[in-house]
């Protein structure tokens, strides 16, 4: 009987030890949870640098696995419109396309109390935050590129594009490109008319007057670079991100901000309304706006920082939209533009492409 009691005690102890082991294993398992998947829709450029400077550090710090869906603005927005309940959590878009998504009800309102780095966003981009949707995380600008050796005067104003000495020397971006709508603003201002007061009528009159100077419109920065390199043109409205490519093929071309100011485009990050990871998405946006990340992307990717605490040397800031040039630049009303864009495209084609 005594032996039986001892055996029972030993068996109970063994069960207790095994139970503890299993409990410990569960605890360890909890600590090794699988990473949360965060699906981000973005452009397909410079992916290696983006992983190194943006995505991988966020993954490692937050036990996250980032999955990218890539494509241009239009492709990705159309895809989201057709399937708003997709698994996409965050979407990078140029401002015009982001506005379309907002109007279509695709994006979540942002709780900016949880995005503390939004306080560091420059004043020029504050209206996006005030609207309550995704913030700008970078910006670029359109100004004038020209070859001084082939132009008989110093270009200082947007109005100089209509100068008689520039006959057969000018190119402008297509209406459907990032800075096509900005070109409409330039043309309307040439006629001294607020574009929102006449829906662009004066702008089209100005574009008709520009035709003797106009060689062609362009849709791709590579086409613009080739036109400069082949000496087909001497002057163009172009973006800062395209200027480096232009200068590679035509070293004498300079990039100047007109006295009336350049035109700014903001690129934004929005949270998709159907996202199952909204808190994590907010954390990513706050991270993307941080001084550390904005400094890395400015130096490694050539992305103009939206964070006003980023400090760059003159060399690092070359060709970026940075510092005083931002406050001296102009923005456009994408809500107004989107409402009338279809009409503009039709009239643009009839005016310039026939």
Please tell me the predicted confidence (pLDDT) of residue 15: 43
Distance CA(157)–CA(1), nearest Å, equals 107
Distance CA(345)–CA(318), nearest Å, equals 34
Please tell me the predicted confidence (pLDDT) of residue 77: 97
Please tell me the predicted confidence (pLDDT) of residue 127: 96
The radius of gyration computed from the CA coordinates of the chain, to the nearest angstrom, equals 27
Please tell me the predicted confidence (pLDDT) of residue 285: 99
Please tell me the predicted confidence (pLDDT) of residue 308: 97
pLDDT digits (tens, 9 = 90+) for 193-230: 999 999 999 999 999 999 999 999 999 999 999 999 99
| Residues 309 and 120: beta-carbon distance below 8 Å | yes
Distance CA(250)–CA(245), nearest Å, equals 9
pLDDT in tens, the chain (354 residues): 444 454 444 454 444 444 444 444 444 444 579 999 999 999 988 899 999 999 999 999 999 999 999 999 999 999 999 999 999 999 999 999 999 999 999 999 999 999 999 999 999 999 999 999 999 999 999 999 999 999 989 999 999 999 999 999 999 999 999 999 999 999 999 999 999 999 999 999 999 999 999 999 999 999 999 999 999 999 999 999 999 999 999 999 999 999 999 999 999 999 999 999 999 999 999 999 999 999 999 999 999 999 999 999 999 998 899 999 999 999 999 999 999 999 999 999 999 987
Fold observed for domain 142-263+333-352: D-Maltodextrin-Binding Protein; domain 2 (3.40.190)
Fold observed for domain 36-139+265-327: D-Maltodextrin-Binding Protein; domain 2 (3.40.190)
Are the folds of 36-139+265-327 and 142-263+333-352 the same? yes
- Domain ranges in the chain? 36-139+265-327, 142-263+333-352
Residue 251: closest CA among 130, 136, 121, 147: 147
Please tell me the predicted confidence (pLDDT) of residue 31: 52
3-state helix, strand, coil in the chain (%, to 5): 50, 20, 30
């Amino acid at each position: 009987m005594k032996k039986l009691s001892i055996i029972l005690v030993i068996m109970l102890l063994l069960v207790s030890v095994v139970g503890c082991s299993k409990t410990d294993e569960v605890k360890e398992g909890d600590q090794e949870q699988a990473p949360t998947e965060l699906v981000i829709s973005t452009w397909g450029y410079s992916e290696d640098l983006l992983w190194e400077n943006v995505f991988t550090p966020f993954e490692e710090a937050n036990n996250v696995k980032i999955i990218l869906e890539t494509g241009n603005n239009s492709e990705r927005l159309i895809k989201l419109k057709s399937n708003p309940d997709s698994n996409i959590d965050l979407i990078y878009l140029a401002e015009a396309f982001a506005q379309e998504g907002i109007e279509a009800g695709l994006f979540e309102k942002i709780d900016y109390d949880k995005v503390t780095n939004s306080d560091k966003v420059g004043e020029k981009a504050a209206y996006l935050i005030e609207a309550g949707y995704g913030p700008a995380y970078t910006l670029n600008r359109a100004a004038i590129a020209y070859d001084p050796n082939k132009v008989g005067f110093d270009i200082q104003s947007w109005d100089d594009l209509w100068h008689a000495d520039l006959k057969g020397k000018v190119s402008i971006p297509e209406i459907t490109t990032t800075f096509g709508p900005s070109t409409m603003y330039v043309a309307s201002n040439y006629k001294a008319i607020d574009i929102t007061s006449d829906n662009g009528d004066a702008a089209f009159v100005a574009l008709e007057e520009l035709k003797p100077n106009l060689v062609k419109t362009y849709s791709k920065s590579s086409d613009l670079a080739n036109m400069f390199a082949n000496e087909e043109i001497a002057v163009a409205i172009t973006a800062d991100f395209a200027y480096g490519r232009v200068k590679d093929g035509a070293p004498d071309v300079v990039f100047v901000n007109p006295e009336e100011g350049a035109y700014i485009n903001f690129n934004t990050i929005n949270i998709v309304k159907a996202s199952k990871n909204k808190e994590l998405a907010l954390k990513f946006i706050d991270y993307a706006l941080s001084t550390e990340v904005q400094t890395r992307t400015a130096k490694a990717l050539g992305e103009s920082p939206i964070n006003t605490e980023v400090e760059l040397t003159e060399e690092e800031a070359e060709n970026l939209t940075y510092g005083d040039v931002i406050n001296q630049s102009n923005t456009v009303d994408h809500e107004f533009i989107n409402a009338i864009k279809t009409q503009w495209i039709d009239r643009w084609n009839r005016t310039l492409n026939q």
